Amino acid sequence: MKPLALLATLITGALLLYGTADFAAWGDPQSPPNSNISVRFVEEAVKETHVPNIVTAVLGDYRGYDTMFELVVIYSAGMAVMGILRRREEL
Amino acid sequence: MKITLQEAREQIPQRDIILETTARLMVPFIQLYGLYVIVHGHYSPGGGFQGGVVLGASVILLALALGLPASKEYLTEGTDIIMANVGALIFTGIAVLCALLGGMFLDYSALTKILPIDPISWRSHGIFLVEVGVGMGVMTIMVSIYWDMASAGRLDEGL
């Protein structure tokens, strides 16, 4: 089983590394993420949400799904740890 | 391993007045700062996750300095679990409420139907309400994970 797991890990890692070749260059102002969505956030976020901190506006409003499932992940982690570890003396 | 731990416990004095008093005095200030980080997330770095971790750290400090049972008197097990669930429910509940009121899922401007103010202002207030839920959830889950890890799930005595 272990060689199989190692093989799967190596193949997945190689695929992910291969995928990074298509990323936009670091800090390139002409790349799609920097020329479309970022500009819109910087220009419109305060007008659209009245939140001076753009990070909070993006996190809580534009990318609310991301933040919601971050909380769900933390919640599930806590419940999983509770379910695995917690013991009751009386039972 | 277990014997050496027990021996170590016997050698360490169980109570220390300086440590306990310092921890007790620090807790309210840490919690005030945690609330500040949550509430001021609209204007400065911070928000629910960071503030929640600071709030959770105050209870973990109590558990480290006064012992795990003392921190369980401060924040009981039941309250901890209820607050974790309520925190997650606040976020998802507001999201679903927005959808039920005719907006998109997580579109806070739909909440104008509850309290008629400017929809843009509702987006700001909606973010705040959601951050409160995140803060509650993160704080209680941090404390709960620490309790379980430190006492191997028995919640009787910590590290």
Tens of pLDDT along A63-80? 889 999 999 999 999 999
Q: Is residue B76 part of a domain?
A: yes
Query: What does the angle CA B60 – CA B62 – CA B65 come to, to the nearest 5 degrees?
Result: 110
If one counts the domains in chain B, the total is 1
Closest Cα of chain B to A55: distance in Å?
A: 8
Angle at B3 between CA A91 and CA B4, to 5 degrees: 130
Question: Which residue in chain A has the smallest CA separation from B127?
Answer: A60
pLDDT by residue (tens digit) across B49-71? 999 999 999 999 999 888 888 88
**Cβ within 8 Å, pair A86-B134:** no
> Does the residue B126 lie in any domain?
yes
Whether B9 has its CB under 8 Å from any CB of chain A: the answer is no
Q: How far is B114 from chain A (nearest CA, A)?
A: 18
pTM: 0.82
Q: Using CB atoms and an 8 Å cut-off, which of residues 35-64 of chain A contact chain B?
A: 47-53, 55-57, 59-61, 64
Q: Is the ipTM reported for this complex over the cut 0.90? A: no
B157 within a domain of the structure (yes/no): no
Q: Is B159 part of any domain? A: no
Which domain range does residue B118 map to?
A: 2-151
Structural domain includes residue B97? yes
The residues near B48 (Cβ < 8 Å, ≥ 6 apart) are A71, B38, B41, B130, B131, B132, B133, B134, B135, B138
Measured distance CA(B124)–CA(B48) in Å, rounded: 14
Residue B114: pLDDT band (50, 70, 90) is confident
